[in-house]
Amino acid sequence: NAGVTQTPKFQVLKTGQSMTLQCAQDMNHEYMSWYRQDPGMGLRLIHYSVGAGITDQGEVPNGYNVSRSTTEDFPLRLLSAAPSQTSVYFCASRPGTGGVRNEQFFGPGTRLTVL
Amino acid sequence: AQKVTQAQTEISVVEKEDVTLDCVYETRDTTYYLFWYKQPPSGELVFLIRRNSFDEQNEISGRYSWNFQKSTSSFNFTITASQVVDSAVYFCALSEAGGGGFKTIFGAGTRLFVKA
């Protein structure tokens, strides 16, 4: 199993550009989430999904869109990149059975810089 | 609302010292889960331990131990005889089971430096 994979690993954008961060998992996990990590702020939840076709907002959803058309994939879209979105982005998944008692499995992260 | 506070931003110790990382949480739920994750310099996030709100037994795993106290809403993590390989950022996290909660909220993290 590859676990949780993310692409790209690094990305530089100009202000106003849009892009999609890809996330995929091969563990048949129902729950997937996106976090951003900023110095001194820890990991903050952007969006999450409890299954295909179901998504919801986390703590910091503004400027990001998500969709979940399959169990495996959970892409994160930046609509119009801003310097404030410079961060490291982590995708995570966990089994649906057992819900929140389960630990999450994290991808390797995407380091995004917005100029 | 959920909240996790890790008041120690950075800790520096010398190898073989014991070190405790503090975690204080807030929740209105009676059923919840607490986690610790490690982020080594390579950047990946690694799960260390989970505790549910009904189990206040302390746990020991090798040099690692965890002290969960509901009375003080704390879930502290102690590394005994620290080693250089313990240098990492450590995150405490909280998941609430009630109200259809699906979110896991993380603290700001504590960066641990272990010097040889």
Q: A34 in contact with B at a CB cutoff of 8 Å?
A: no
Q: Is the pLDDT of residue B78 over 70?
A: yes
Residues of A in contact with B106 (CB under 8 A): 35, 42-44
For the segment A58-68, the average pLDDT, to the nearest whole number, is 95
Provide the pLDDT for residue A1.
77
Q: Write the pLDDT tens digit of every residue in A8-58.
A: 999 999 999 999 999 999 999 999 999 999 988 889 999 999 889 999 998
Q: What is the mean pLDDT of residues A55-75?
A: 95
CB contact under 8 A, A40 and B108: yes
Q: What is the pLDDT of residue B100?
A: 54
- Give the separation between CA A12 and CA A108, rounded to whole angstroms: 17
Nearest to B9 by CA among A40, A87, A37, A38: A40
Across chain A, mean pLDDT equals 93
Res A25: pLDDT: 97
pLDDT tens digits along B20-73 = 999 999 998 888 999 999 999 999 999 999 998 988 888 888 999 999 999 999
Task: Kindly state whether B64 is in contact with chain A, defined as any CB-CB distance less than 8 angstroms.
Answer: no
pLDDT at A7 over 70: yes
Q: CA A89, A50, A100 angle in degrees (round to 5)? A: 85
Tell me whether A90 touches chain B (CB under 8 Å).
Answer: yes
Neighbours of B61 (CB within 10 A): 9
Of A88, A92, A100, the CB nearest to B96: A100
CA distances from B61 to A81, B6, B65, B66, B72 (A): 44, 22, 6, 9, 23
pLDDT score at B58:
84
Average pLDDT, chain B: 92
What tokens were used for A39? Answer: 């110095």
